[in-house]
């Protein structure tokens, strides 16, 4: 098996949604949980679509503000969560430290 297959299997084993977005705000990967949880609201094929297609104007504003902070070097920024979960946007960087994308991460309270 290739490393990519292992990484996808690891991400699919995580019980929280993972949606990886590139720096053009295009969804490049959803783990199994995200695909299952978002299928009814947004359809099966979110990969390749803009993350803004499935967010309201307020969320879009927050994403753009957080994205600007990630570009400035921050790596993990807490955003509005729920009473049971904290929510963060996390930078994805290449080996040189360049921002190549971001994802939302959840932590139980």
pLDDT at 109: 76
- CATH number of the domain bearing residue 53: 3.30.450.20
Q: Which whole number is the average pLDDT over 77-93?
A: 89
Structural domains counted in the chain: 1
Taking only Cα atoms into account, the Rg of the chain, rounded to an integer number of angstroms, comes to 14
Q: How many CB atoms lie within 10 A of CB 45?
A: 11
pLDDT at 74: 97
DSSP helix/strand/coil, 5? helix
pLDDT at 37: 87
| 49, 37 contact by CB (below 8 A) | no
Nearest to 63 by CA among 75, 84, 77: 77
Tens digits of residue pLDDT in 30-72:
999 999 988 888 767 899 999 999 889 998 999 999 999 999 9
Q: Which domain holds residue 100?
A: 3-108
pTM of the model: 0.88
């Amino acid at each position: 098996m290739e490393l990519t297959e292992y990484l996808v299997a690891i991400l699919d084993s995580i019980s929280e949604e993972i949606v990886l977005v590139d720096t053009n705000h295009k969804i490049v990967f959803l783990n199994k949980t995200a695909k299952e949880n978002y299928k009814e609201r947004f359809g099966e094929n979110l990969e390749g679509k803009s993350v803004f297609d499935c967010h309201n104007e307020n969320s879009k504003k927050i994403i753009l503000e957080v994205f600007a902070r990630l570009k400035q070097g921050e790596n993990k920024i807490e955003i509005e969560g729920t009473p049971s979960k904290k929510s963060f946007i996390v930078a994805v960087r290449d080996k040189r430290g360049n921002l190549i994308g971001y994802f939302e991460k959840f932590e139980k309270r």
